[in-house]
């Protein structure tokens, strides 16, 4: 996102731009940069008698990197040498999830991404590296902490509906708990421990079980559209512009240090922010100094660089940037900052190992795009009335429209209508599989809008449902075009009666689905049956054969909860209980 800062180009800048405009100019600049980077420093060190020059690669978070760069400069000024090898420290900002992936894959020695010193925002990343499939590779087991900062909820001071800073609960992040309604912004849990903290807190509050999974599904679907993919810069949310003043201010989950940094640098017209500390406890980010290399000279260099960082001047600089001391103590300067509580908030340390993996797994399964084939029953049984008012078809139509409103634009969705009135196949493929957010060739309508139009016009065709034949055909269609990066499923809207209209029997269908179901490539069947006349036992066996679920209803008002429950089922696939 643009910072909004601009300046006029100087004559030198204009000349550079003209040079960059030619292939020869680009080549010359690239060669010059490579020469300066690869030659200038080693030549300087060779004069001092170095037999070999090594680079100490240091990776840090965006907020911590400025201090590490200053320390690296001081370290390099001393021209350190270890057993004839000179070491030159370089500091980069690389997202911690990328570092974790590299270290977990055992590429710490030869990867250009893997650092020799890693300073993520939390030891939780170190724990994830240890418990990952690749395991631990030359990584410190008890790294020292450079600073700390608790995860907080941030909002402008005196925000309507916000509780007192010391009376805030994690329940504030749940849908419907913010009044007036306002967005919640957090880091994607795959990208930041502050996001993992939210997921962990929500799961601790909701507990386990089907109702809890449904509530978790509702939370993830509510917040994922506003989730960030890296460290959140609060200045991009509160610019002080007239456009920003007209919107509803969000609640943002960030480290306390981000609130301090924003308040110190905000535009005069931007609102000051208040940090809210959850009463249930929060996670304190500890910014560990992790050595990841086994090379003797680099380990020695890493230890010496830490000694530089441990000096009072650098500790003071960290406090000036809004960090607390490693033990959570706020310096006098930090305590005087507006919008903060100087006393260390209650913290918990159980966000480790399995809990971390569970938090990220919950998010990934619930936020992963879907690839879904909807199978809608239009047989004569769908004309029957429910509860003396609406027909099954009317409720099914509302269910289809509700489902279309719940699934995000990245969802691939197709629609089949089933009745033996459609001919030998017993179905009409009303819409093939396409992403809901894509537009038609004329750019006039999205696939979602097209499907809404189809759903509004669905009517009873009569005849038998060919239920069992169509379920198997739909399952095979999705399985044959399986997408690894999506949740693959069949959603069935039906009266729930086959009545001998299919070529295969119920027993043959269940056996075929059990044989086809692959836990490594799961395709689950979710059945929504309308009316008590549905053959529930038979339908339940069909759903369970693919780790799916059955819902029976006569009330259109239940459809939203049913869809959320079916989506939450992906948390247990392929090991769902009956």
Q: Is 169 helix (H, G, I), strand (E, B) or coil?
A: coil
Please answer whether residues 152 and 257 qualify as being in contact, where contact means their C-beta atoms are separated by less than 8 angstroms: no
When mean pLDDT is compared across 408-417, 449-458, 563-572, the lowest value belongs to 563-572
Please answer whether residues 191 and 154 qualify as being in contact, where contact means their C-beta atoms are separated by less than 8 angstroms: no
Burial of 18 from C-beta contacts in 10 A (0-12 / 13-18 / 19+) = exposed
Q: pLDDT tens digits, residue range 360-406?
A: 888 888 888 899 999 999 999 999 988 767 899 998 998 888 888 88
Fold of 368-572: Rossmann fold (3.40.50)
pLDDT at 2: 33
Please give the Cα distance from 29 to 48 (Å, whole number).
29
pLDDT at 38: 36
When mean pLDDT is compared across 42-46, 100-104, 129-133, the lowest value belongs to 42-46
Rounded to the nearest 5°, which phi and psi values hold at 327? -85, 5
More confident call, 122 vs 405: 122
In the predicted model, is pLDDT for residue 49 greater than 60?
no
H helices within 36-95, ranges in order? 41-46, 65-77
In the predicted model, is pLDDT for residue 22 greater than 50?
no
In the predicted model, is pLDDT for residue 141 greater than 80?
no
Average pLDDT for residues 406-410, to the nearest whole number? 85
Out of 217-221, 318-322, 438-442, give the one with best mean pLDDT. Answer: 318-322
**Is-same-fold flag (149-285+337-362; 368-572)?**
no
C-alpha distances in Å from residue 482, one per residue of 371, 477, 487, 490, 534: 8, 9, 9, 12, 30
C-alpha distances in Å from residue 234, one per residue of 78, 264, 273, 560: 37, 11, 9, 34
When mean pLDDT is compared across 40-49, 50-59, 215-224, 506-515, the lowest value belongs to 40-49
pLDDT at 31: 35
Architecture of domain 52-143+288-322: 3-Layer(aba) Sandwich (3.40)
In sequence order, which residues have a C-beta less than 8 Å from that of residue 517 and are 6 or more positions away? Answer: 523, 545, 546, 547, 574
pTM of the model: 0.75
Q: Which two tokens stand for residue 208?
A: 């386990």
For residue 68, give the nearest of 321, 280, 436 by alpha carbon. 321
More confident call, 141 vs 38: 141
pLDDT at 227: 87
Residue 307 — very low, low, confident or very high, per pLDDT cuts 50/70/90? very high
In the predicted model, is pLDDT for residue 176 greater than 60?
yes
More confident call, 108 vs 263: 263
Average pLDDT for residues 219-244, to the nearest whole number? 84
When mean pLDDT is compared across 52-66, 104-118, 185-199, 421-435, the lowest value belongs to 104-118
Residue 20 — very low, low, confident or very high, per pLDDT cuts 50/70/90? very low
C-alpha distances in Å from residue 229, one per residue of 195, 270, 415, 454, 479: 10, 24, 33, 36, 31
Average pLDDT for residues 318-345, to the nearest whole number? 92
Q: pLDDT tens digits, residue range 484-514?
A: 989 999 999 999 999 999 999 999 999 999 9
In the predicted model, is pLDDT for residue 112 greater than 80?
no
pLDDT at 135: 57
When mean pLDDT is compared across 28-37, 286-295, 438-447, the lowest value belongs to 28-37
pLDDT at 107: 52
Q: What is the mean pLDDT of the chain?
A: 84
Please answer whether residues 522 and 502 qualify as being in contact, where contact means their C-beta atoms are separated by less than 8 angstroms: no
Architecture of domain 149-285+337-362: 3-Layer(aba) Sandwich (3.40)
Peptide bond into 418 cis (omega under 30): no
Please give the Cα distance from 382 to 322 (Å, whole number).
64
Q: Which two tokens stand for residue 514?
A: 């059990």
Please give the Cα distance from 256 to 460 (Å, whole number).
58
Please answer whether residues 436 and 446 qualify as being in contact, where contact means their C-beta atoms are separated by less than 8 angstroms: yes
Q: pLDDT tens digits, residue range 181-222?
A: 899 999 999 889 999 999 999 998 999 888 888 899 889 988
What does the domain layout of the chain look like in residue ranges? 52-143+288-322, 149-285+337-362, 368-572
First to last CA, the chain: 47
Residue 116 — very low, low, confident or very high, per pLDDT cuts 50/70/90? very high
Average pLDDT for residues 70-81, to the nearest whole number? 95
pLDDT at 47: 44
Calculate ∠ Cα 428-432-436, nearest 5°.
130
């Amino acid at each position: 996102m643009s910072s909004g800062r601009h300046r006029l180009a100087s004559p030198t800048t204009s000349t550079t731009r003209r040079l960059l405009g030619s292939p020869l100019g680009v080549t010359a600049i690239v060669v010059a940069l490579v020469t300066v980077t690869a030659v200038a420093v080693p030549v300087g060190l060779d004069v001092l008698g170095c037999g070999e020059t090594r680079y100490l690669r240091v990776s840090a978070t965006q907020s911590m990197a400025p201090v590490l760069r200053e320390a690296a400069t001081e370290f390099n000024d001393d021209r350190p040498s270890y057993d004839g090898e000179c070491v030159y420290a370089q500091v980069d900002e690389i997202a911690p999830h990328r570092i974790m992936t590299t270290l977990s894959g055992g590429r710490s020695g030869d990867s250009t991404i893997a650092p020799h010193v890693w300073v993520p925002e939390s030891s939780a990343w170190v724990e994830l590296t240890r418990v990952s499939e690749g395991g631990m590779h030359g990584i410190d087991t008890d790294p020292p902490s450079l600073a700390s900062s608790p995860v907080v909820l941030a909002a402008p001071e005196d925000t309507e509906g916000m509780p007192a800073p010391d009376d805030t609960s994690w329940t504030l992040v749940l849908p419907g708990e913010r009044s007036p309604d306002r967005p919640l912004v957090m880091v994607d849990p795959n990208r930041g421990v502050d996001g993992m903290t939210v997921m962990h807190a929500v799961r601790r509050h909701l507990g386990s079980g089907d109702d809890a999974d449904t509530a978790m599904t509702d939370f993830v679907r509510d917040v994922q559209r506003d989730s960030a993919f890296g460290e959140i810069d609060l200045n991009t949310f509160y610019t002080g512009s007239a456009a920003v003043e007209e919107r509803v201010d969000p609640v943002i989950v960030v480290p306390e240090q981000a609130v301090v940094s924003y308040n110190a640098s905000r535009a005069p017209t931007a609102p000051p922010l208040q940090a809210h500390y959850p009463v249930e406890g929060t996670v304190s980010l500890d910014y560990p100094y992790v050595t990841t290399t086994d090379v003797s000279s680099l380990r020695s260099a890493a230890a010496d660089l830490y000694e530089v960082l441990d000096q009072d001047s650098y500790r003071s600089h960290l406090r000036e940037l809004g960090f607390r001391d490693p033990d959570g103590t706020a310096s006098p300067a930090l305590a005087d900052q507006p919008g903060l509580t100087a006393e260390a908030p209650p913290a918990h340390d159980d966000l480790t190992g399995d809990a971390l993996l569970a938090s990220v797994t919950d998010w990934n399964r619930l936020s992963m795009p879907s690839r879904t084939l909807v199978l809608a029953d239009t047989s004569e049984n769908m004309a029957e009335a429910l509860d003396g008012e609406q027909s099954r078809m009317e409720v099914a139509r509302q269910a289809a429209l509700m489902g279309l409103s719940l699934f995000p634009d990245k969802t691939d969705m197709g629609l089949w209508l089933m009745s033996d009135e459609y001919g030998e196949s017993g179905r009409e493929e009303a819409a093939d599989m396409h992403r809901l957010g894509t537009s038609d060739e004329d750019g006039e309508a999205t696939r979602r809008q097209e499907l809404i139009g189809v759903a509004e016009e669905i009517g009873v065709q009569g005849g038998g449902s060919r239920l069992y034949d169509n379920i198997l055909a739909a399952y095979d269609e999705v399985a044959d075009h399986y997408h690894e990066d999506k949740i693959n499923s069949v959603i069935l809207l039906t009266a729930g009666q086959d009545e001998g209209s299919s070529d295969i029997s119920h027993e043959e269908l269940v056996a075929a689905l059990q044989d086809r179901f692959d836990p490594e490539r799961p395709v689950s069947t979710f059945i929504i049956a309308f009316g008590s006349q549905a053959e529930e036992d038979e339908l339940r066996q069909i759903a369970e054969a693919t780790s799916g679920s059955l819902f029976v209803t006569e009330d259109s008002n239940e459809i939203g909860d049913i869809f959320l429950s079916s989506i939450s089922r992906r948390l247990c696939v392929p090991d769902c209980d009956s």
